[in-house]
Structure 1
């Protein structure tokens, strides 16, 4: 799976969990500063990402990310390490 495909999937999950349109959830947008995106929604989003990619993200990685591009990069790293 390419980085672009991972980002697309992460964005789709973020759209589903936050209710925000993909036009707002740009790869470099800071999730922490978005109206309506709270820690519970972010945790649900991360849980869905973990299930979708069959990985378990480290808490440090999760809390060290603030954008969808960051999340996609962590997922990409985990998938490469597992291969």
Structure 2
């Protein structure tokens, strides 16, 4: 694991995930609140949400469990799952 991943904070992951979501949905990043329901964002559908998750997994070189992915519905929730996975991988 890279040093950048080892020192990644929740806020940094939120910022990265926000950028990925904004790019995938074609909306301004500023319009996305960390606690907003991803499925209610204009243009979001299940395929786009899965593509966003795949991009997040590639960005952080992690594999998120399906149960984790389907249990969260916000940028903040995704960031928490990524941070937890990075911590487990580092252990």
For this structure pair, what is the TM-score category when the shorter chain's length is used for normalisation?
over 0.9
Runs of 5+ in structure 2 lacking a partner? 1-7
Structure-1 residue corresponding to 2:5? none
- CA offset at residue 35 of structure 1? 2.1
- Deviation beyond 2 Å, 4+ runs, structure 1: none
What's 1:68 paired with?
75
Unaligned 5+ runs, structure 1: none
More helix by share: 2
Scaled by the length of structure 1, the TM-score of the pair is: 0.95
- 1:3-18 equivalences under 5 Å are 3-18=10-25
Q: Give the superposed CA RMSD.
A: 0.8
Report the number of matched residues: 83
